[in-house]
Amino acid sequence: MGQSKGNFFNGAEILIAEDSQTQAEQLTHYLSMRGYTVTVARNGKQALAAALRSKPALIITDVVMPEMDGYTLCKEIKSLPALKDVPVVLLTSLSRPQDIVKGLECSADSFIRKPYDDKYLLSRVEYILTNVQLRKTERLQVGVQLQFGGQSHFITAEKQQILDLLISTYEGAVQINEELEIKQQELLQAKETLEERVAERTAELAQTNQQLQIELVERKRAEAEIKKLNEDLERRVAERTAQLAAANHELEAFSYSVSHDLRAPLRHIKGFTLLLIEEYSPQLAPEAQQRLKRIQEVTNKMARMIDDLLNLARLDRRSMALQMVSLNSLVENVRRNLESETSGRKIDWRVGSLPSVNCDPGLVEQVFANLLSNAVKYTGRCEHAVIEIDQATIEGQPVLFVRDNGAGFNPKYSDRLFGTFQRLHSDEEFEGTGVGLATVQRIIRKHGGRIWAEAEVNKGATFYFSLGETANRKDKDSDPGAVRIAGYSHSASASR
């Protein structure tokens, strides 16, 4: 708002008593732009002192202030002969009738209701300053005793002062009424909008409810179908279970047949061959003796294959006896059992600090027996064999591994490695039945783990394997420094 050129009161001093810095700056801005000289006091005492130093043309004061409120300040101003003719305007919310009575009692000249409009504020200031002369000529000779709200109030304000105060109060009431009418229109509009939205929402809910009814019917139909499928599945599972039980029974019968009916002829063949060699060897040609030895070798291999096959078949039916066991102790047992095969050889055994595992000790020892015997066998042609047994972390998971620097194998055939009777080397190179690694895989899977291998021809092979989530929780709680992931329990101080 720019400064008015025709303002009669241009340069008139106005004293503001306001403890809110924001409100004081706002009032200062409005009045200064209008051409008034503005002085600001932070409370009633400061305002009184400022008025005594320099008499203002008008005082605008907040009602609620520290040390001295607006009513008290107004009374003090009106009680001083030098200041009693200075108009005092109260900034108030006019929230109670007592506010008007208090304003009359302290001889206030006008009210300006908070929050105020800048145009209304400036018009009231100009009106009050214009009527100052009337207040000087027309005075009340006596006061008026007023009873209000159960209390007695003595009014000494002048006629014009009372009139101005009542007019300002009325204008405030009119302004409030206009605001109420605007609010009422807004409420009516909001009500119409709400009713429209309620109608729309009701229609949406009705449509949704209809859709839910359709979905409910579909769901009941689906549940009935699922129930029928479950009953059919249970029947098929029962049939399949019966078939598996029958197949297991047949497998047991086959195992018994293999154990007795096939082993007996093999024993006879082996016995008669040995008898021929022992009793008739001098009478036989060297070629015949060689063929008899070949028959014995093949018979022994056939017997080993039968034993391995029976052991493989029994694995799935065998229940595991889990217990915490040190893998280092299992590896040491296997090494001792292999001493007859490793005697006279230079083998560098590199056994790391292995974890303790909650597993079936007999089965896991069989895993190490197969892997270590293979490592011994396939490093047979190495002048200096190295066999390493340790643990590592792969993709965030701990695994065990057995590594050698022996014959290795072609990695493109690794998918055949764990198949029954699948061999990547001929009997002329390295003897074997082709069942050992299949047995190892069955045992690892039975423990919930997995096994895989990496190798290169003539550069050795590494077999990695893990065991499943079979960790003993009681053991974990007893050792706060233990590291246990995927079935392993290992002291943090010994981990690699």
Least confident of 24-33, 304-313, 376-385: 304-313
What's the whole-number mean pLDDT along residues 336-352? 87
Task: Note the pLDDT of residue 239.
Answer: 87
Among 107-121, 162-176, 289-303, 389-403, the range of highest mean pLDDT: 389-403
Query: Is the per-residue pLDDT at 327 higher than 90?
Result: yes
SS (H, E, C) the chain: CCCCCCCCCCCCEEEEECCCHHHHHHHHHHHHHCCCEEEEECCHHHHHHHHHHCCCCEEEEECCCCCCCHHHHHHHHHHCCCCCCCCEEEEECCCCHHHHHHHHHCCCCEEEECCCCHHHHHHHHHHHHHCHHHHHHCCCCCCEEEEECCEEEEECCCHHHHHHHHHHHHHHHHHHHHHHHHHHHHHHHHHHHHHHHHHHHHHHHHHHHHHHHHHHHHHHHHHHHHHHHHHHHHHHHHHHHHHHHHHHHHHHHHHHHHHHHHHHHHHHHHHHHHHHHHHHHHHCCHHHHHHHHHHHHHHHHHHHHHHHHHHHHHHCCCCCCCEEEEHHHHHHHHHHHCHHHHCCCCEEEEECCCCEEEECHHHHHHHHHHHHHHHHHHCCCCCCEEEEEEEEEECCEEEEEEEECCCCCCHHHHHHCCCCCCCCCCCCCCCCCCCHHHHHHHHHHHCCCEEEEEECCCCCEEEEEECCCCCCHHHHHHCCCEECCCCEEEEHHHCC
What structural domains does the chain harbor?
13-157 (3.40.50.2300), 320-494 (3.30.565.10)
pLDDT at 490 over 60: no
Tens of pLDDT, residue by residue over 129-149, are 887 755 555 544 444 444 444
Q: What is the pLDDT of residues 272-292, one digit of tens each?
A: 777 777 777 778 788 887 787
pLDDT at position 424: 56
Lowest-confidence segment of 45-49, 233-237, 479-483 by average pLDDT? 479-483
